Amino acid sequence: MSFLERLLGVKSTISARDVDPDALTVLHRLQSRGFTAYLVGGGVRDLLLGRTPKDFDVATDARPNQIKKLFRNAFIIGRRFRLALIRFGEKQIETATFRRDPGADDDAAAAAPPPDPDREGGLYQESDNVFGTPEEDALRRDFTVNALFWDPATGEVIDYAGGLKDLRRKVLRCIGDPDVRFREDPVRMLRAIRLGSRLGFSIHPDSLAAIRRYGSEIAAASKPRLFEEILRLFTFAKSREAFGRLHETGLMREVLPALDAYVERTGRGKSPLWAYLSALDEVAPDLDTEHRESPRYVQENALRLATLLAPLLRERLRAPGAPSARDAASELVRDVVVVPYLTGGWRVPRALCYDLERILASLADYPKRDLRRRGTFSQPWFFTALTLWGIAADAERDRAAAPALENWRSQFNAWADGPHPPRRGSYVPTDPDKAGARGFPGDVPEDRDSLFPGDRLRGRPRDEKAEDATGEPGAAEGEPRKRRRRRRGGRRHHRRGNGAGEAPVS
């Protein structure tokens, strides 16, 4: 790395050694078959910044069916625009065909009514994308720093939108006219907040002005997408920065009005909310959010929402004539989380809301030492609640809570390290590409914490020895198979007669 690269913190080239080997396999195979294929998106951006990408995406001129023929481990997904997921064990490489925004001569655009720019949400993009060239694919993306391509054959970084210049300047700039692009897809406003907070970039003045001007049109976006993007603001331990920008731009007033009103009446920049989010950012990197069978597993989404709502709950419980902690938590979850994002086909999952209510209500109980710990410890939400107690104590600088917290932690650790039955249930994720399943593709489902409303917990698996070759439960090997008797219900089956209308035999 040259002196200038070290000074700016941005590389000018990418080494193949830094790229995932499976992504290189996909790129080389596509190029060896005569197709154009590039590494694209956030992976290129992060490699140039010297960061470790969370995933690698590939764009190519090969059509989805052609990709599937080249890779036996490829699966086609998507309804609006089909793409291929090439799986390598638990990892998957998203491989999409170059596309462009539909024009007036495209069938999809011609069939749709022309947008009305004067109507609220009138530029919201609903038509499907169509196949295009690499340059068209780059220019349809949201921000210039996400429109960088890397060619493994030449090692060259291809820049169609000026992303390299913005990387060096640490500026997040919208591609095209921000007034139009943010109205086409209002969720881009939240992505700008999240990406700017994660990278430490400033938002370009033109893009920032467009967010403040058209923030109210975010109501035209899909409610599940909005809720998903709000939860993503917590990622990479940057929630304090992200929600601070959300409030400064006025978007918090549109997506979380109750939270925005709380910040306004509690001192804006001095609001207790910021101390809660800062405390969450400090502990987030050390939390176990992957091993669901562990007693120290943290329900990530529940903890995020609980941290966001905890200062509001504290305020409600201090008011005269306040309800019980459980009732106040239930009302808060309903008013802030459930009702604003309720649609005809989706709602925030009930299991997540139930655990969130219990976690919030526990804030009023943890100083006590006379609770039945063994029954409480086995609850799937308890360790998440214990984590929230520590966050609340740090945010409020409550030194008096330290002895109670230490007592709870020592008791829980003794229980967790001792013999106890594992939690039951294996997770069955919903396929988000089926019409009946309304989930978020690309999210990793979490136990009781998933945003997939169709997910279910399945009980303990059957004993394999007691299943026959067809997979049906039967006798173990060497034992005679028992015949199943069909059980009949209903009143008429308990009567025995010789025919219709005859009296039952006594």
Residue identified by tokens 């229980």 is 415
Instruction: In whole angstroms, give the CA distance from residue 506 to residue 504.
Output: 6
Residue 25: which domain range? 1-98+133-166
Q: Point out the catalytic residue in the list 46, 57, 101, 166.
A: 57
> Residue 408 above 80 pLDDT?
yes
> Residue 373 above 80 pLDDT?
no
- Read off the pTM: 0.78
Q: Point out the catalytic residue in the list 142, 166, 355, 455.
A: 142
H or E element at residue 93: strand 91-97
Q: pLDDT above 90 covers what percent of the chain?
A: 63
> Residue 8 above 60 pLDDT?
no
Specify the pairing of strand 130-131 against strand 99-100: antiparallel
The predicted pLDDT at position 329 comes to: 96
pLDDT band at 196 (very low <50, low <70, confident <90, very high): very high
> Residue 186 above 80 pLDDT?
yes
Candidates 372, 366, 363, 426; CA nearest to 402 is 366
Q: What is the pLDDT of residues 124-165, one digit of tens each?
A: 444 456 899 999 999 999 999 999 999 999 999 999 999 999
CB 145 within 8 A of CB 114: no
Domain-located, residue 23: yes
pLDDT band at 460 (very low <50, low <70, confident <90, very high): very low
Domain-located, residue 44: yes
Q: Point out the catalytic residue in the list 55, 106, 185, 335.
A: 55
Candidates 148, 136, 213, 159; CA nearest to 182 is 213
How many DSSP H helices and E strands does the chain contain? 21, 13
pLDDT band at 488 (very low <50, low <70, confident <90, very high): low
The predicted pLDDT at position 491 comes to: 53
Q: What is the CATH number of the domain that holds 155?
A: 3.30.460.10
Average pLDDT for the chain:
82
> Residue 479 above 70 pLDDT?
no
177 has catalytic annotation: no
> Residue 442 above 50 pLDDT?
no
What's the token pair of residue 401? 């809570």
The predicted pLDDT at position 453 comes to: 46
> Residue 359 above 50 pLDDT?
yes
Residues in the chain: 506
Which residues lie across from 38 on neighbouring strands? 59
Instruction: In whole angstroms, give the CA distance from residue 301 to residue 443.
Output: 12
Ranges 329-343, 356-370, 412-426, 470-484: which has the least confidence:
470-484
Give the mean pLDDT of 166-175.
96
CB proximity list for 297: less than 8 A, separation 6 or greater: 288, 289, 290, 291, 383, 447
Identity of the highest mean pLDDT range in 359-363, 430-434, 452-456: 359-363
What's the token pair of residue 4? 């200038």
Instruction: In whole angstroms, give the CA distance from residue 478 to residue 471.
Output: 17
The predicted pLDDT at position 419 comes to: 80
pLDDT band at 420 (very low <50, low <70, confident <90, very high): low
Domain-located, residue 56: yes
> Residue 443 above 50 pLDDT?
no
Give the mean pLDDT of 428-449.
43
The predicted pLDDT at position 403 comes to: 87
The predicted pLDDT at position 371 comes to: 56
Find the radius of gyration of the CA atoms of the chain. 27
Domain-located, residue 141: yes
55 has catalytic annotation: yes
Instruction: In whole angstroms, give the CA distance from residue 358 to residue 380.
Output: 11
* The Cα angle at residue 137 between residues 131 and 140, in degrees rounded to 5: 110
- Total of domains in the chain: 1
Per DSSP, the residues of 28-58 read: HHHHHTT--EEEETHHHHHHHTT---S--EE
Per DSSP, the residues of 337-381 read: IIGGG--SS----HHHHHHHHHHHHGGGTTT-S-S-HHHHHTSTT
CB 453 within 8 A of CB 349: yes
CB 252 within 8 A of CB 259: yes
Instruction: In whole angstroms, give the CA distance from residue 22 to residue 90.
Output: 12
Domain-located, residue 158: yes
Instruction: In whole angstroms, give the CA distance from residue 188 to residue 193.
Output: 9
Backbone angles phi, psi at 112, to 5 degrees: -85, 150
The predicted pLDDT at position 369 comes to: 57
Q: pLDDT above 70 covers what percent of the chain?
A: 74
Give the mean pLDDT of 68-90.
91
The predicted pLDDT at position 136 comes to: 95
Which residues lie across from 95 on neighbouring strands? 58, 84
Higher-scoring residue by pLDDT: 461, 279: 279
Q: What is the pLDDT of residues 378-387, one digit of tens each?
A: 889 999 999 9
Identity of the highest mean pLDDT range in 89-103, 187-201, 426-440: 187-201
What own/partner pairs with CB < 8 Å and gap ≥ 24 does 345-352 have?
345/438, 346/223, 346/224, 346/438, 346/453, 347/453, 348/227, 348/451, 349/450, 349/451, 349/452, 349/453, 349/455, 351/448, 352/299, 352/301, 352/302, 352/448, 352/449, 352/450, 352/451
Q: Is the dihedral of CA 109, 111, 114, 120 positive or negative?
A: negative
CB proximity list for 462: less than 8 A, separation 6 or greater: 473
DSSP, collapsed to helix, strand or coil, labels residue 140 as coil
Q: What is the pLDDT of residues 120-131, one digit of tens each?
A: 444 544 445 689
Give the mean pLDDT of 80-106.
85
Domain-located, residue 376: no
Question: Max CA-CA distance within the chain?
Answer: 102
Per DSSP, the residues of 248-277 read: HTTHHHHH-HHHHHHHHHTTGGG-HHHHHH
Cβ burial, residue 175 (10 Å; 0-12/13-18/19+): buried
CB 71 within 8 A of CB 86: yes
Higher-scoring residue by pLDDT: 81, 160: 160
335 has catalytic annotation: no
Domain-located, residue 152: yes
Give the mean pLDDT of 238-262.
97
Domain-located, residue 383: no
